[in-house]
Amino acid sequence: MRQVQAPQDPPAKAFALPKDPTQRAWVAIQRFGPALLERVETRLKTAGFPALEWYDVLWAIEREGPLRQRDLAGHMLVARYSISRLIDRMEAEGYVSRRECPEDGRGQMIHATTAGLKLRKAMWVVYSKAMRDALAPLTEKEALQLAALLEKLA
């Protein structure tokens, strides 16, 4: 997570917002996006849960079945070596397991263990609440608008 919110203090200072629309949008993306993410991650962490990426991996596997690292990287927009090490850690904790990939000797299928499925469910309780709180200032309509605008940028 590109960290951006101060974990130590909540300084809350006023910002000089640029007048130019593009710049103003950029500043908002650069500042408030990451700050928002961090707010949610902090909730997870203080609840004793691992980072969001762990959730993302487990959820992707739960939705689509065992996946290759390549596909996980694709889903999460993360570099391959990041996934490799993330899986290392998750495997060490017993949440996923690597098994060989039948149709490609290089690859491997990442499976979720029972503990993994359980972890994802438990995380969702905290995660969904934190997410909703973070987006509470927006109406449903605004949330959709925001999503649409960001999707346009992908």
Helices (H) and strands (E) in the chain, counts: 6, 3
- SS3 label, residue 119: helix
CA atoms within 13 A on the CB side of 15: 11
List the one residue out of 102, 101, 104, 108 whose CA is nearest residue 83. Answer: 108
- The Cα-based distances of 36 to 29, 75, 130, 134, 149 in angstroms read 10, 21, 10, 7, 17
Residue 57 CB coordination number (10 Å): 26
Per rule CB under 8 A, count of chain residues that contact its own copies: 66
Interacting stretch for its own copies, rule CB under 8 A, among 6-14, 91-99, 100-108, 111-119? 6-14
Out of 23, 30, 84, 128, name the contact with DNA by CB under 7 A: 84
Q: 115, 122, 125, 146: which one contacts its own copies (CB under 8 A)?
A: 146
Would you call 97 helix, strand, or coil by DSSP?
strand
Least separation in angstroms between residue 137's CB and DNA is: 24
Nearer to DNA, 83 or 120 (CB): 83
Query: In the set 43, 45, 75, 111, which binds DNA (CB under 7 A)?
Result: 45
What is the contact mask toward its own copies in residues 124 to 143, using x (rule: CB under 8 A)?
-------xx-xx-xx-xxxx
Interacting residues with its own copies between 35 and 54 (CB under 8 A): 35-37, 52
Provide the binding-site residues for DNA, judged by CB under 7 A: 3, 7, 9, 45, 68-70, 73, 79-89, 98, 101, 103-108
